[in-house]
Amino acid sequence: MNITLRQLEVFERVARRLSFTRAAEELFLTQPAVSMQIKQFEEAVGLPLFERLGKKIYLTRAGEELYQLSRNIAHQLNEAEQLIEEMKGTETGRLNVSVANTVHYFAIRLLGEFCRRHPKVRVSFKVTNRKGLLQNLEDNEADLLLMGQPPDHQDLEAESFLINPLVIIAPSNHPLAGQPKIPLNELSCETFIMREIGSGTRNSVERFLAERGVHLSVSMEMNTNTAIKQGVEEGLGLGIVSIHTLERELESGRLTVIDAECFPILRQWFIVHRAGKRLSAVATEFAEFVRHESDQFVRDDIIKAALGHSLSDLAPAASGHRRSPHPA
């Protein structure tokens, strides 16, 4: 059987996504090029690997078997690449980082400083939601994640590195703006714009409110913090977001933080990777950089002005960090 590594790579991506279009986008190829690679691969194998039913494709039995083998080969090639990168040290190499939508507001500054210190490092930086982050780990497309609370049922290692306070936001001219210690039950009279179901922020807020017997009226769901902030500015409702996403809006006075009892909700941001994964020297260096220097890249003056407390003041109230592999 005469096949090439490129054909194997293309097949693995099409089989993983069950889409020629998505595979082409992720591999930076045209769809005809992907189709040609698959055709040549099937001819070399001598068996059909995909079934086409309407607009959808499915793996045949042979395709399923080859997909598992191709994934194993892809992981081994990735480990070989990481070993070579590790031997190069921290001055060169590649770093693949995926971050949650909320984190990217300050992660860009964090990554910028790291790249200034390591100018020859090639960086892949992806911003996505919680589901996308975990998929990146599953597909071995990210060395490290920066995210909220990781799931306990996956084989991951996680360590908290920064407090992430969730706050209620409103337009600066809202009737609740400036009122002290608003009881939670008063908020049930307001409408809220919330993140989509399944997001880390939404999960934390719903758990927090359920523990206190409070129900909020959700008028809209949006899948980014930027959209929520814009909706709040337009008077569509109150919002609950990370204070780290509010730097420009608070500084300009476009939004304000509501002083509600029991708020802010104190969460943590975590640096995460798969348990047992061999991290390259560059990834290890970046992880250390995040652990020890991330607090320098947030505007603590703005946080203190909005909450009356700096991040260091809030630290004792937040849960301690953890670093633990969880059995699958």
C-beta contacts of 18-26 below 8 A and 24+ residues apart? 18/56, 18/57, 18/58, 18/59, 19/57, 20/57
Closest among 162, 67, 149, 156 to 107, alpha carbons compared? 162
Please provide residue 220's backbone torsions phi and psi, each rounded to the nearest 5 degrees: -150, 150
DSSP state of 322: -
Q: What is the pTM of this model?
A: 0.69
Q: Which two tokens stand for residue 116?
A: 């200034």
Domain boundaries in the chain? Answer: 5-85, 89-162+269-317, 163-266
Q: Which two tokens stand for residue 142?
A: 């990210």
CATH class of 163-266: alpha beta
pLDDT of residue 74: 81
Asked whether this chain's domains 89-162+269-317 and 163-266 adopt the same fold, the reply is: yes
Query: What is the fold of 5-85?
Result: Arc Repressor Mutant, subunit A (1.10.10)
pLDDT of residue 235: 92
Q: Which two tokens stand for residue 120?
A: 């020859």
**What is the three-class DSSP state of 114?**
helix
**What is the three-class DSSP state of 180?**
coil
Domain 89-162+269-317, CATH: 3.40.190.10
Mean pLDDT in runs of 10 for the chain (328 residues)?
85 92 90 92 91 89 91 80 65 84 85 91 88 84 88 84 92 92 89 88 89 89 91 94 91 93 90 86 91 86 83 63 41
Strands (DSSP E) contained in the chain are 50-53, 56-59, 94-100, 122-128, 144-147, 156-171, 191-195, 217-222, 238-242, 255-258, 265-274
Q: Which two tokens stand for residue 278?
A: 């061999």
